[in-house]
Structure 1
Amino acid sequence: MPRRTALLPLLTLTFWSALALAQPPGAGPQGVPVDRAIAAYAQGRLPEAAKAFQQLAAQGNALARYNLAMMHLRDELPRSSARSARQLLEQAAGQGFVRAELALGELHEQGRLGRVDLVQAQRWFLRAAEHGSVDGQVAVGTAFFLGRGAPKDMAQAARWFREAATGGDVGAQYLLASLYEQGDGVPRDLRLARYWYDIAARNGDEAAPFKREEIDARIESERQRQDEV
């Protein structure tokens, strides 16, 4: 398989590294207080931000729950706790907040909740992927591609890489092209391989232009052989 696959086994999404700055759908009517809490956080007034997030989280605000969880994970609270972060993230995820689903997947993948649990990581990444997250789709495709947290299934890997590729992920575009080139999980199709290598090249992948040229040469060679028959 191409060099791109070497980038995927240790997929790290780092969604817990920053607070969310946008109000998610259905988060409730407390948009202005959340904005003020985020502003307080950005200005370094962590106790004020934490208090506001705690109040809003208690009211059921998904964004506040997510951001308070991030403060726990970044050890920015007097009693920071990964367990509390998990509880908050699960509450936010239950409200359909995709970033919380992604964060839970990463926490399980990294073992930040006590042990590495790739099956649980895949469960959360799959939920995010089904909710339209490109990063979740890449994570799920990678799990199926490697048999890591899920049974190895190249057809499922191709399905999720296709979703992510359609969503604009360059790595997924390159990988999907390689699957079509090899006939791995999908019928071998050099024209579709060429199509996805071309898109990856247009989106800045450095290796894709060379693969595109290689595929062009192979397509032309096969055409000439057919003409000679």
Structure 2
Amino acid sequence: MKIRCCLLTRRLFVILAFCLITVAGVAQEMQQVPRFIEQRYLKAAGQGSAKAQFTLGLLNERGLVKDASLENAASWYRLASTNGYAPAQYRLALLLEKHQIAPIEGETIKALYQSAATKGMKEAQLNLAILLERRGEVRQAFEWYMAAAKGAVAPAMTAVGVMFAQGRGVDADPAQAWAWFSRAVKAGDKNAEPLMAALGEKLTDDQRDRAKMLLESGS
């Protein structure tokens, strides 16, 4: 009975640790995860588990294991990325872009974001679109903004509205722009509110009617 309770307790600790490192804002409550949890992830990672490799990357990135570092995090993310694990590709791209971790030969931020984005990861779709827009690849940027917007990412909805309003990467369409701003507002992006209001004052009656139809149809 005692052995069963001990095993159950350890399993609960593993589940709790995973929750703490994957839920934003909660990980700070732990100084370090228990050593036996890290060892279990190390064992699973050594056996090729991409999820365990990714988790070790998170533990290192957030300073939750002994001798944690961003370089160690990048190493674990790379292992998981080679196994096609989209969250690891996304986190590695963030490290390369935001923390200036040195890439290895043939590794690019764009390729990592794109790989995760094509697997349907909405955060990667948004970041890829931003990266492409900065590089002047506006048509591709619009496509990825749209993919993220259809996945209910509010900032992407706003970006789609801006591109429709300005005719960047897509033909200008004030009605579509207003409809996307409206969706972004409903999704909680306050940046879309003044854009929606300003554009609304310039719409013709026909454009306003069409914008409302687009909203109702969801197109």
Give TM class, smaller chain: 0.7 to 0.9
1 CA distance for matches of 2:195 and 2:72?
Answer: 48
Give the unaligned 5+ runs of structure 1. 1-32, 224-229
2 CA distance for matches of 1:46 and 1:34?
Answer: 12
Match for 1:56 among 39, 44, 61? 44
Mean Cα deviation higher: 159-168 or 78-87: 78-87
Cα deviation digits, residues 9-64 of structure 1 (max 9, x gap): xxxxxxxxxxxxxxxxxxxxxxxx88753435757542121111111111222221
Q: Which residue is 2:14 aligned to?
A: 37
Instruction: Verify the 8 A CA contact 1:54 1:68 in the aligned structure 2.
Output: yes
* TM-score where L is the length of structure 2: 0.73
1:184 equivalenced with 2:168 (yes/no): yes
Indicate the RMSD between aligned Cα atoms, in angstroms. 2.8
1:215 equivalenced with 2:192 (yes/no): no
1:136 equivalenced with 2:124 (yes/no): yes
Residues 69 and 35 (structure 1 numbering): CA distance in 2 closer, same or farther, change over 3 Å? Answer: farther
* TM-score where L is the length of structure 1: 0.70
SS class of match (2:201): helix
Q: Kindly report which structure 2 residues correspond to 1:1-229, keeping only aligned pairs within 5 A, or say none.
A: 36-39=13-16, 45-114=33-102, 120-147=108-135, 152-220=136-204
Give the unaligned 5+ runs of structure 2. 1-9, 21-29, 208-219
Instruction: Verify the 8 A CA contact 2:78 2:92 in the aligned structure 1.
Output: yes
Instruction: Verify the 8 A CA contact 1:144 1:153 in the aligned structure 2.
Output: yes
Cα deviation digits, residues 39-97 of structure 1 (max 9, x gap): 35757542121111111111222221111122223344344354443332122123332
Instruction: Verify the 8 A CA contact 1:38 1:49 in the aligned structure 2.
Output: no
The number of aligned residues is: 186
Q: Which residue is 2:3 aligned to?
A: none
